[in-house]
């Protein structure tokens, strides 16, 4: 008897569970289906990037001679002009001797050429009067040509040091550009290496930049590189000036990608329109690049798009207040919230925001 009671209770429990389950299912089925309507709108692609403000161009000034710095005429933040004296360098022994030898060789070459011309003029008269042989006359011609070649070589060597002004064993270094000194890398008493007589780079004395022409250097993820182009507009916000907005345009997109934090990016440069003395090299900047804009297009929320087993984009139309079969669509641009619809559904179609339940 006890066995039958247990079986009876189990059956009752199953019946109750069945009715409870069906009741919950009917409640779920009664819930309204989240949906949206295909409508027309505008989509603008915007890319948010961070970058750093830098001068558009920076000139590194180096010494043409190797030696010891005996005097510096400028410091960081000073404004210099092209041709302005910036440093005195005492050439080392080998450098000073080389410069002196080149200057002396040029003078000797000029004297030898002058002598060769005089000798040829005299030899021509002697040859015409048959006082010297043709072989001797030809030798005088050869001497003149050799003297011309020696002078040409001496002039080429002198051209390399012509702008190195050395007086009283002191070489002057002049600025090659106009701008603000943003960095001075040496002090009085330090040794510098020539930029013309070594295999490596010479010692940089100053870095000079035009601070009236500033840019933002930023990087674009490789997946977004097709969305930008040169001359594309951008808005710039600088952390140091939170209430000011600057504008600019993309002036350069590097052809070669590089890796940053295991991500492929393309360096870009954005020229700032405004000339603002507050802008300093190294300031952080937040850049919004305004990309392609399409108006009066069919759009739906990006959350209404799903994928089938083949990875194709699909949506589910609402048919008779129920979720219908999947519909394949073609999409265009998106702004990460809405997406453009190119084909597959029409304006005013109702689209489900969720996939149908799978049994």
Q: DSSP characters for 92-113? A: -HHHHHHHHHHHHHHHHHHHHH
pLDDT at 26: 43
Q: Which residues contact 261 (CB under 8 A, 6 or more apart)?
A: none
Examine the pLDDT at 162 and tell me if it is beyond 80. no
| CATH topology agreement for domains 33-54+212-359 and 58-209 | no
Rg of the chain's alpha carbons, rounded to an integer? Answer: 41
Task: Tell me the C-alpha distance between 61 and 266, whole Å.
Answer: 29
Of 85 and 8, the one with more pLDDT: 85
Do 312 and 280 form a contact (C-beta atoms < 8 A)? no
Tell me the domain boundaries of the chain.
33-54+212-359, 58-209
CATH topology of domain 33-54+212-359: Elongation Factor Tu (Ef-tu); domain 3 (2.40.30)
For residue 307, what is the enclosing H or E element?
Answer: strand 306-307
pLDDT at 27: 41
Cα angle for residues 95, 98, 103 (degrees, 5° grid): 130
CATH architecture of the domain formed by 58-209: Beta Barrel (2.40)
The half-sphere exposure of 328 on its side-chain side, counting CA atoms within 13 A, is 5
**Residue/partner pairs of 112-121 with CB below 8 Å, 24 or more apart:** 112/147, 112/150, 112/151, 113/144, 113/147, 113/148, 113/150, 113/151, 115/147, 116/140, 116/143, 116/144, 116/146, 116/147, 116/148, 117/144, 117/147, 119/143, 119/144, 120/144
Which tokens in the block code for residue 38? 């295909």
Span 36-58, pLDDT tens digits:
999 999 998 888 899 999 999 99
DSSP-assigned letter for residue 229: -
Is the pTM higher than 0.75? no
Examine the pLDDT at 198 and tell me if it is beyond 80. no
Examine the pLDDT at 349 and tell me if it is beyond 70. yes
């Amino acid at each position: 008897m006890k066995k039958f009671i247990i079986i009876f209770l189990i059956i009752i429990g199953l019946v109750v569970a069945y009715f409870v389950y069906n009741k919950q299912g009917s409640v779920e089925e009664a819930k309204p289906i989240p949906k949206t309507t295909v409508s027309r709108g505008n989509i603008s692609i915007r890319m948010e990037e961070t970058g750093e403000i830098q001068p558009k161009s920076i000139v590194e000034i180096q010494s043409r001679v190797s030696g010891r710095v005996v005097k510096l005429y400028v410091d960081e933040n000073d404004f210099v002009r092209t041709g302005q004296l910036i440093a005195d360098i005492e050439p080392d022994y080998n450098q000073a001797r080389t410069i002196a030898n080149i200057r002396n060789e040029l003078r000797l070459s000029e004297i030898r050429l002058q002598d060769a011309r005089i000798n040829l003029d005299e030899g021509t008269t002697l040859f015409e009067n048959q006082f010297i042989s043709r072989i001797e006359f030809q030798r005088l011609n050869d001497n003149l040509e050799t003297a011309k070649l020696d002078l040409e070589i001496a002039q080429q060597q002198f051209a390399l040091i012509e702008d190195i002004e050395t007086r009283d064993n002191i070489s002057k270094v002049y600025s090659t550009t106009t701008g603000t000194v943003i960095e001075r890398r040496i002090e009085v008493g330090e040794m510098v290496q020539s930029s013309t007589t070594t295999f490596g780079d010479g010692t940089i004395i100053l870095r000079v930049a035009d601070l009236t022409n500033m840019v933002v250097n930023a990087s674009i993820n490789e997946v977004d590189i097709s969305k930008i182009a040169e001359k594309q507009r951008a808005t710039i916000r600088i952390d140091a000036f939170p209430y000011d907005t600057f504008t600019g345009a993309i002036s350069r997109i590097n052809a070669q990608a590089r890796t940053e934090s295991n991500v492929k990016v393309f360096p870009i440069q954005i020229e700032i329109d405004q000339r603002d003395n507050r802008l300093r090299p190294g300031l952080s900047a937040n850049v919004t690049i305004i990309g392609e804009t399409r108006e009066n297009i069919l759009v739906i929320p990006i959350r209404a798009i799903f994928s089938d087993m083949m990875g194709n984009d699909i949506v589910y139309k609402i048919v008779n207040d129920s979720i219908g079969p999947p519909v394949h669509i073609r999409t265009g641009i998106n702004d990460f919230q809405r997406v453009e619809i190119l084909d597959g559904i029409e304006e005013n179609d109702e689209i489900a925001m969720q996939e149908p339940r799978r049994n």
